[in-house]
Amino acid sequence: MKDLFAKNEAIVKKAYMFAEKKHRNQKDDNGFPYFTAHVCQVARIIDTICSEDAILIQSAFLHDLIEDTNTTYDEIKNKFGYEVADLVMEVTHEGDKTKGYYFPRLHTQRGIILKLADRHQRGKIKGSGDNR
């Protein structure tokens, strides 16, 4: 992840460390550590296409925290600011995960980019049964 920290190192590293701690001990559907198997891969995609956008890179690391951990919107807002918290909330699934109602919630360019990176990465996981 060294390349992700090249610019805006301190704030990106803060998001990385926070998300790694929150996702610790979680596994993906294939038994791999969720943080490295998915979260870091989404952040790599974002860094590849939007390397100058620290808000988007931070949000990539944090994008699954509200729905997959006990992290709240307010906790993200207090640690990373409104822009990051709002973006994480924009891509957070609420309600019935089998319905897949994401697109009506997406309303910013950053949100669309982040959700497409998330979906693209999930599509690469062979045998993934995750329908989020």
Sequence-ordered list of residues with C-beta below 8 angstroms from that of 63, at least 6 positions apart, any chain = 39, 42, 88, 91, 92, 114, 118
Q: Contact at 8 Å (CB) between 43 and 1?
A: yes
Q: How far is CA 122 from CA 14, 37, 38, 53, 63, in A?
A: 24, 10, 7, 22, 13
Is 47 among the residues known to form the active site? Answer: no
The residue annotated as part of the active site, out of 29, 67, 75, 83, is 67
The residue annotated as part of the active site, out of 68, 75, 83, 86, is 68
Is 90 among the residues known to form the active site? Answer: no
Q: Which residues are catalytic?
A: 67-68
